Every structure is written in C-alpha cells, then in structure tokens.
Chain A
Amino acid sequence: MTHAGGYIADPRIRKIEWLPWVLAVLCYFVAPSYLPLGSYVLTMVIFALSLDLILGYGGIITLGHSAYFGMGAYVAGILAARLTGEPLLGLLAGTLGAGLLGLITGMIILRTRGLALLMLTLAITSVCYEVANKATALTGGADGLGGFTVQPILGLFKFDMFGKTAYLYCLVVLFVCWWLVRRLVYSPFGASLTGVRENNVRMHAVGSPVYQRLVTSYTISAALAGLAGALLTQTTQFVGLKVLGFELSGELMVMLILGGVGRIYGAFVGPLVYLVAQDYLAKQFPEYWYFGIGAMLVLVVMFARGGILGIIDAVIARLRRKSD
C-alpha cells in the first residue's frame, strides 16, 4: 500500500503510527542540546505535510509553496511586532493569511496544468519575495524582522533559551496538524483528490467539480504551510526573506521526495533525514556538505522512486516473500 485512503482503507491508527511521536518525545529527554534543530525539523514536517496534500494527493506540482510559508511567517512576525505577541493568535493569523493567499492565487493558477502551473507557482513566490523585500516599513526588507517578543503560550509556558518550550509547542501543533491531515486524507474528499491525481479526465466525466476540489485542497495546503511559517517565526523570533525564497520551495520538494510522496509519513521521514544529514555534514565537511545532500538525492531518485519509505516497503515485501 502506498497511498493511504479510499473507500476500503481501514482508517484506524495502526500501532506503528505512534512510533514518530514516541521518538519525538524521547528526543526531548535524550538530546536536549538538539532541541532547536528538532523544532525546525517539526516545523518542516508540517510544511512537508502541506505539500504532500496537494502533490501526493491532488497531483499539483509546485515550486512556489514557500509563498504561503513566508506569508504565514510574516503575518505572525508583523502581528507580534505591531500588535500582540500572543502565540496562538499569531498562529491563527498566519494560517488564515496564508489560506487567503492560497485561495486567491489558487483560483488563478489552478486553471492551468503541468509546466504552465509550475511556472505560475514560481512567479507567485517571486512576486511575494519582491513585495517583502520592498515593503521595508512592514517587513524589515533584506534585514529581516526581529526584536519582537512572543508571549508565554496560554499565558503559562514561557519560551526559554534552550528551546524546550518551543520544541514541545511545535510537537503539539504538529500532532494536531497530523491528525487533521490524516482525517482529510482518509475522507471522501481525500479520495476524490486521489481520483483527480490518478485521472483528471475521468473525474470530470463522473461529474466531479475538479477545479473547485483543487482550489479547496490548495487553500487548505496553503493555510497549513502558513501555520508552519508562523511557527518558525515564533520559535526563532525572527523572519528573514529566506522564508519566501525559491530555494526553500525546492528544498521542501527534495525533502518530501526523499521521504516518499503521497503517504503522509514521507513528510515525517524526509525532513528528518534531510535536516539531520545537513546538520551532520555541515559540521563534518563545512565546505562540501551540499555534495552529500546532492549524492543522497541522486541515489534516491535513481534507485528508490518511492523515497525512503518506498525502500522500507520493498525490503518488508522481500522479507515476507522469503518467509513464505
């Protein structure tokens, strides 16, 4: 089984699906010095989940998803700098802001398909980047936006310098996002997205409002990306132009492909492996670390199209055949 969901899929949570959460909680106790990296990984998992929803299920190929991540990040940042540093409000604002941008841009670009769509996603990111770059009064431009404080969560949990609160905050937010995405993927709506990805022409022929489905999924995905962006702003207390960069979109795509597209947990494995490898390689080979990332990607694309989870599937299938 690769793509989860559909009318005969068992939606109950399997035991193995608790593994990431057990590991994430263990990390908190075992590796306290890695918590800032851990928070970043968790944030990127949310971002990758949002991409998986449209790429893995809807079949929308995009290189502009950082537009929504960046939108969420800046909305949360500007809100904290200008109005209030209340974190949950910031998350909500970032989510809604990015969702609105996703709705408007989605309505325009989803009329196209394939390469034209890909180009338009790139264009949207570039436009957002330039807007953030020029609107220095609001965004700080190339210097970035910082110097704001994020209030304690629910007025109780203060963000500490070791990143303990931030890590748990990210973990809880990710858990909620995962639960929602999982429900969506297993729902009739998720099944219909699979139908659109599998055969757009046939979905039209069975009376599906394909365009409205795609715009809806794109909006939800953009909102989720914005949530991730807002989370990054709050946990790092800084927003830079990088959050709107084309590189981030590309990096995100690489992470998801590395983990495995269209299976929810690819969005967990990909960012974890990519970012940990990046951290390790950057320490060991400060000059050549991108070589290691590149080699890893080449290997996955050449030999394991299903990503790391695809490799695991293949190994399990082979073991089962041997034991029969």
Chain B
Amino acid sequence: MSAALETRSLCKSFGALTVADQINFRLDPGARHALIGPNGAGKTTFVNMLTGRLAPTSGQILIGGDDITALGQAARVKRGLGRTFQINTLFPNVSVVDNVAFAVAERENVAWRMFHPASRYRSVLDESMALLDTLGLAQDARLTVAGLPYGKQRLVEIAIALGLRPRVLLLDEPAAGVPTLESHRILEVLDALPKDIAILIIEHDMDVVFRFAQRITVLTQGTVLVEGTPAEIAANDDVRKVYLGERHA
C-alpha cells in the first residue's frame, strides 16, 4: 500500500543554512501522526514544503505514491492535501458559512461560475452548513468570523480545511492560543475527525500530542531524530534530552 504522504530525502537550505536535512517521512492512510520538535527544528519549513509554499532544494514529496514535488499549492489541494494554520488565516469580514463555502466551492469546481448567484448552488451551502453542524458551529453560521471568540475561530480554521475533503490533513498547532478551558472542545473535534483522513499534527502541547497521536516524529535541527509510538518517544533518552525536559523525564 502506498503512503498517503511521503517524503524522500527532503532537503532545504537557505544559503549555508540547512533547515531540512534528508527528511524521510511516511504518513499512512488514516494515520494519526504528530510532528514535534523544539523551536527552530524546522517544523514550519517542513510543512511549507509539503503544501508547496516553499520549494525544496532537493528530494521528493509524494501523495498517494505520485510525485508532486513540482506541483503548486492549488494542484496539491486538488490531490487531497489540506491544511490549517497555526495563526488564524480566515476570511475575517464574511460569514462563517461563507468561509467554509469558499473552500467547498473550489473543491466542487463551481468557483469560476460567473452568471448565476452563488446562493443558487445549494449543494455548496448545504455541505458547508452540515460541516459546521458537526463542529458545533451551526448557531454561528451567519455571523461574521471577526466577531467570533478565538476558540471558535480555531474551529472555523479546521472547518475550512475539512471543506476540501482532504485525504491528508496537516494541522498546524490547532489548539494554539486557546485557553485550557476551551481546548477540550478542539480535542473533541480532533478525536471525531473522519477515520479515513491521514492526519499530521504539528503541536507543542504534549497533552494534545500524547492523547491524539499513534505515532510521533521528533524533528531537531532539520533532521528526524527519532520516530515511534508515544510510549517509545516518551521513553527515549535522546528525546528527553533535546526536547521533553525534566517534566516528562
């Protein structure tokens, strides 16, 4: 079976500075995989290469066994790669449901239509509403995103990505900035995500990581330090040294 997402010897340098060094990574269909590492480990660079915002210096990226290294962002999305952002990257001055509908419309290829009103495309609206409903946002559908509390905005962030019906979903610190009291809501949503989506979560919060992930990859200084199950990672001396610190020792 080919991996949902795979990288082979992925490298990225900015001049003399190497920020990704021979990264071999594999995400199986339906996987729950976490990418962790200290600040500056190259997590964001890695994600940006996966999504196509950054071109790698060398190496390959494959989705479902197909080499997509040369494809742009939009083409990768069409191949089933979705992402959320660490810092809210929403459409602030439009309604919550429009935020999701923009994504659904792109996936359904209706976003080029120029003549009939958008509200005529019921399937886009219905699907967007249904998605918001599963995330508990149905009440807020008609509100402007900018007016939502931060925790709910984080959910909209996930809703937009789900509107793409991705096969691979990259979650960049989904609970970042959310107060602990509200973060359980995000975790519930993460737990309920469709099982057939392969998910890579980039996260600093170890509680989230160990609760959510079945496998963990630890990145340091642009290289994969170790990969394994949460139990293996928690027991690994190297990981403890560079990352987890005394708290988990």
Chain A residues within CB distance 8 Å of chain B: 2-3, 5-11, 183-184, 186-192, 194-195, 198-199, 201-210, 213
Contact = CB atoms under 8 A, between A and B. Distances in A.
B91 A194 contact: yes
Given A199-B89, A206-B103, A189 B117 contact: no
A198 B125 CA distance: 19
Tell me which of A10, A183, A187 has the highest count of chain B C-beta atoms within 10 A of its own C-beta: A187
Contacts of A204: 53, 73-74
Contact of B51 (A3, A195, A198, A205): A205
A189 B113 contact: yes
Contacts of B115: 183, 187
Contacts of B243: none
A195 B163 CA distance: 15
Nearest to A189: B114
B114 A184 contact: yes
Tell me which of B76, B95, B119 has the highest count of chain A C-beta atoms within 10 A of its own C-beta: B119
B117 A186 contact: yes
Contacts of B125: 7-8
Interface residues of B, number: 45
B225 interface: no
7 contacts: A6-B94, A7-B97, A186-B118, A192-B111, A205-B89, A206-B106, A207-B73
Contacts of B106: 192, 206-208
B85 interface: yes
Given A7-B121, A183-B114, A205-B77, 7 more contacts: A3-B93, A8-B141, A188-B114, A199-B92, A202-B90, A206-B102, A213-B111
A192 B111 CA distance: 6
B128 interface: yes
B102 A195 contact: yes
A7 B89 contact: no
A7 B89 CA distance: 20
Contacts of B97: 7-8
Nearest to B93: A198
Nearest to B164: A206
Contacts of B141: 8
Nearest to B157: A202
B107 interface: yes
B128 A187 contact: no
A204 B76 CA distance: 10
Contacts of B111: 188-189, 191-192, 208, 213
Given A188-B110, A204-B74, A208-B106, A11 B89 contact: no
Contacts of A3: 93-94
Given A3-B93, A205-B89, A190 B160 contact: no
B105 A191 contact: yes
A187 to B, nearest CB: 5
Nearest to A187: B114
Contact of A7 (B76, B90, B92, B118): B118
Contacts of A194: 91, 94, 98
B116 to A, nearest CB: 6
B10 interface: no
A11 B102 CA distance: 17
Contact of A205 (B83, B95, B114, B121): B83
Contacts of B107: 206-207
Contacts of A195: 91, 94, 102
A7 B101 contact: yes
Contacts of B184: none
B228 to A, nearest CB: 30
A198 B92 contact: yes
B172 to A, nearest CB: 11
Which 7 pairs between the two chains have the least Cβ-Cβ distance? Answer: A207-B77, A11-B117, A198-B91, A206-B103, A7-B101, A186-B117, A192-B111
Contacts of A208: 74, 102, 106, 111
A200 to B, nearest CB: 10
Contacts of A190: 114, 118
Tell me which of A5, A202, A204, A210 has the highest count of chain B C-beta atoms within 10 A of its own C-beta: A202
A7 B85 contact: no
A202 B91 contact: yes
Contact of B160 (A2, A11, A202): A202
B2 to A, nearest CB: 22
A316 B90 CA distance: 29
B121 A199 contact: no
Interface in B42-91: 51, 53, 73-78, 83, 85, 89-91
Contacts of A202: 85, 89-91, 160
B196 to A, nearest CB: 19
Contacts of A199: 89-92
Contacts of A207: 73-78, 103, 106-107, 164
B136 to A, nearest CB: 19
Contacts of B76: 207
Interface string B150-194: 000000000010011000000000000000000000000000000
